[in-house]
């Protein structure tokens, strides 16, 4: 017998200019649930990609059941008994549940797929996992949570010894999370191991047996879960006390600037009503798919609402396009930087100046490049954006600096209301702290801020009030004093 089913030792992985992993160790016991903890950018994902053959580590050894392995691709890893549930869903929406689960390894009858066996095997698997879905349902028609359960079924279907789960519960309701935990316990009893990556502390303490901690690409340490408490775990993850992340608060909240009444968009959200005051930070919490981003998109005119009213500084307004929203003094930092924020092939200057562009046109119709450059340099300095020049192509900047450029883009428009959708997603701790500071300063200067976030510490640390959404409805608005992690989670999954 072997003491560890999976042993990775001395793993280093460099990318041009940086070490993403530096001499990292991970040892997984058979029949255990092992948590991987660390901030964004700590190297968890890179390590997992090394373990499943997406990356080849520069140094170090990977042993599966005591045997040294080197994986060329994910197929190799699957054959050695390691499967992974990725953070993003990788299902094909136009195919059935059965076809998705067995994609690439369909049972064949001669040249043709043997549909009888395919559906029988799927039925068996779903029954075993107690997932109540028919094998011939189209995946695209299932809820996000159910799709996630199909992903889980798929990972289990490989009959792997180690199943890696990267944030498996981010899209699940409380009931589904409970269901997942039952599946995990079943797998454990069969002697399988789970590597569990999550930012949700409650889950970590509830389901895992051991915790390994990573910080900035290095291995901090491992121990049994029962030897940790919440505070020591956070401190070891971050390397300092978390309280200093969030700057002091604005006690200077002014009059109401925005009032939303019964805003609805069919199929997305219903009867959303809330208000916002000058200098206030309104946190918006909820699970993925709760309709938070959709509300913000309607407020900003990207996809106008079907009904309801928007009152801005006492005036009833209709917002039919982003251009109108900008004219009314709104700004919207979108959730997905790459998809709806950045112009990846353009420069920092061009990315930053695009919203304010109409103001840079002189009366002959030409762009005033000098004014543009002056504004840009000022923002680079104020926001501490690290770029060699303002003509640098923005794709070459780090995520944190890209995000700062996008924030600068909206600051140049001098908005009255700033909507931030996941403002710190995928950026490192240092840049995060700077962005928090910036948000506080803006609030202090009287800008009203709506901050949608899936990171509870951020919501709790920054918000004056917290609005919680669930399946397109507001389930509660909590004052800062009443807002706790437990209460928000309860409202988010009720």
Partner 1 sequence: MENIKMNKDVVAPAANQEGIWDNLKKKMPKDMGIFLVMIGIALVFEVLGWVFRGQTFLMNPGRLVLIVLQVAIIGIIAVGVTQVIITTGIDLSSGSLVALTAVVAASLAQTADSISPMYPALVDLPAIVPILAGIGVGLLCGVINGYLITKTGIPPFIATLGMMVSARGLAQYYTQGNPISFLSDGFTAIGSGSMPVVIFLVVAVIFHIALKHTRYGKYVYAIGGNMTSARVSGINVDKYLVIVYSIAGALSGLAGIVMAARVSSGQSSMGMAYELDAIAAAVIGGTSLMGGVGRITGCVIGAIILGLMKSGFTFIGVDTYMQDIIKGGIIVGAVVIDMRRNRAKR
**How crowded is the C-beta side of 396, counted as CA atoms within 13 Å?**
13
Asked whether position 454 contacts partner 1 by CB under 8 A, the answer is: no
Minimum CB distance to partner 1 smaller for 90 or for 130: 90
Q: Which residues contact 31 (CB under 8 A, 6 or more apart)?
A: 188, 189, 191, 192, 193
Q: Both ends of the chain: CA-CA distance in Å?
A: 45
Q: Which residues contact 339 (CB under 8 A, 6 or more apart)?
A: none
Q: Which of residues 26-55 bind partner 1 (CB under 8 A)?
A: 40-41, 43, 45-46
* Beta carbon of residue 199, minimum distance to partner 1 (angstroms, whole number): 13
Structure tokens at 305: 């609402």
Task: Indicate if the alpha-carbon torsion angle 349, 352, 354, 359 is positive or negative.
Answer: negative
**How crowded is the C-beta side of 489, counted as CA atoms within 13 Å?**
17
Minimum CB distance to partner 1 smaller for 187 or for 417: 417
- Helix ranges, 52-95 (H): 74-79
Cβ 49 vs Cβ 55: under 8 Å: yes
Cα separation, 469 vs 387, in Å, equals 38
Minimum CB distance to partner 1 smaller for 178 or for 343: 343
Cα separation, 365 vs 66, in Å, equals 71
Minimum CB distance to partner 1 smaller for 273 or for 414: 414
Q: Which of residues 329-368 bind partner 1 (CB under 8 A)?
A: 332, 334, 339-346, 350, 353-355, 357-358, 360-361, 365-367
Q: Sort 247 into a burial class: Cβ within 10 Å, 0-12 / 13-18 / 19+.
A: middle
Minimum CB distance to partner 1 smaller for 275 or for 324: 324
Asked whether position 387 contacts partner 1 by CB under 8 A, the answer is: yes
Minimum CB distance to partner 1 smaller for 15 or for 178: 15
Asked whether position 401 contacts partner 1 by CB under 8 A, the answer is: yes
Task: Give every strand in the sheet of 307-312, ordered side by side.
Answer: 269-277, 256-265, 307-312, 315-317
Cα separation, 451 vs 83, in Å, equals 35
Asked whether position 381 contacts partner 1 by CB under 8 A, the answer is: no
DSSP state of 138: B
Residues 62-101: x where in contact with partner 1 by CB under 8 A, - otherwise, as a string: ----------------------------------------
Minimum CB distance to partner 1 smaller for 423 or for 476: 423
Cα separation, 211 vs 227, in Å, equals 10
Q: Which of residues 284-323 bind partner 1 (CB under 8 A)?
A: 300, 302, 321-323
Choose the stretch contacting partner 1; rule: CB under 8 A; options: 113-121, 279-287, 421-429, 465-473.
421-429
* Beta carbon of residue 251, minimum distance to partner 1 (angstroms, whole number): 33
Asked whether position 427 contacts partner 1 by CB under 8 A, the answer is: yes
Residues 251-290: x where in contact with partner 1 by CB under 8 A, - otherwise, as a string: ----------------------------------------
Asked whether position 386 contacts partner 1 by CB under 8 A, the answer is: yes
Q: Which of 65, 63, 73, 71 is nearest to 26 (CA)?
A: 63
Minimum CB distance to partner 1 smaller for 38 or for 135: 38
* Beta carbon of residue 353, minimum distance to partner 1 (angstroms, whole number): 8
Residue from 18, 92, 103, 266 in contact with partner 1 (CB under 8 A): 18
* Beta carbon of residue 220, minimum distance to partner 1 (angstroms, whole number): 17
Asked whether position 456 contacts partner 1 by CB under 8 A, the answer is: no
Task: Indicate if the alpha-carbon torsion angle 184, 228, 430, 11 is positive or negative.
Answer: negative
Cα separation, 473 vs 262, in Å, equals 10
Minimum CB distance to partner 1 smaller for 102 or for 214: 214
Structure tokens at 472: 């397109």
Minimum CB distance to partner 1 smaller for 16 or for 104: 16
Asked whether position 110 contacts partner 1 by CB under 8 A, the answer is: no
Q: Which residues bind partner 1 (CB under 8 A)?
A: 13, 15-18, 20, 40-41, 43, 45-46, 217, 300, 302, 321-323, 325-327, 332, 334, 339-346, 350, 353-355, 357-358, 360-361, 365-367, 369, 386-388, 392-393, 395-401, 409, 426-428
């Amino acid at each position: 017998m072997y003491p560890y089913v999976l042993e990775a030792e001395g793993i280093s992985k460099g990318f041009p200019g940086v070490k993403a992993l530096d001499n990292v160790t991970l040892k997984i016991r058979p029949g255990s649930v092992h948590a991987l903890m660390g901030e964004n950018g700590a190297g968890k994902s890179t390590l997992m990609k090394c373990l499943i053959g997406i990356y080849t580590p520069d140094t170090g050894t990977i042993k599966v059941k005591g045997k040294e392995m080197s994986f060329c691709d994910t197929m190799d890893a699957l054959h050695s008994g390691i499967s992974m549930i990725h953070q993003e869903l990788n299902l094909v929406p136009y195919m059935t549940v059965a076809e998705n689960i067995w994609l690439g390894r369909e049972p064949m009858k001669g040249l043709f797929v043997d549909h009888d066996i395919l559906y029988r095997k799927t039925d068996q698997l779903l029954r075993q996992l107690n997932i109540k879905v028919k094998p011939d349902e189209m995946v695209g028609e299932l809820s996000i949570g159910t799709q996630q359960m199909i992903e889980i079924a798929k990972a289990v279907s490989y009959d792997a010894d180690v199943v890696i789960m990267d944030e498996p519960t981010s899209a699940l309701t409380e009931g589904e999370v409970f269901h997942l935990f039952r599946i995990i316990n079943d797998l454990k009893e069969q002697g399988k191991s789970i590597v569990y990556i999550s930012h949700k502390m409650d889950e970590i303490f509830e389901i895992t047996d051991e915790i390994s901690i990573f910080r900035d690409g290095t291995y901090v340490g491992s121990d049994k879960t029962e030897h940790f408490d919440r505070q020591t775990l956070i401190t070891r993850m971050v390397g300092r006390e978390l309280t200093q992340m969030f700057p002091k608060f604005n006690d200077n909240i002014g009059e109401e600037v925005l009032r939303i009444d019964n805003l609805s968009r069919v199929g997305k959200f219903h009867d959303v009503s809330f208000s916002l005051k000058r200098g206030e930070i309104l946190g918006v919490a909820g699970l993925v798919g709760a309709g938070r981003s959709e509300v913000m998109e309607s407020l900003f005119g990207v996809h106008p609402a079907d009904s309801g009213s928007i009152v801005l500084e006492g005036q009833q307004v209709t917002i039919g396009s982003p251009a109108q929203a900008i004219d009314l003094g709104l700004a919207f930092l979108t959730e997905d930087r790459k998809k709806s924020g950045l112009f990846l092939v353009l420069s920092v200057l061009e990315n930053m100046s695009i919203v304010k562009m109409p103001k840079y046109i002189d009366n002959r119709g030409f762009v005033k490049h000098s004014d543009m450059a002056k504004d840009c340099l000022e923002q680079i300095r104020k926001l501490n954006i690290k770029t060699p020049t303002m003509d640098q192509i923005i794709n070459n900047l780090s995520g944190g600096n890209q995000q700062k450029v996008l924030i600068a883009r909206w600051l140049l428009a001098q908005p009255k209301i700033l909507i931030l959708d996941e403002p710190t997603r995928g950026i490192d701790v240092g840049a995060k702290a700077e962005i928090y500071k910036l948000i506080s300063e803006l609030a202090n200067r009287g800008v009203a801020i709506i901050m949608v976030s899936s990171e509870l510490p951020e919501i709790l640390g920054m918000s004056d009030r917290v609005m919680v959404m669930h399946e397109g409805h507001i389930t509660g608005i909590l004052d800062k004093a009443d807002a706790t992690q437990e209460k928000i989670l309860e409202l988010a999954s009720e």
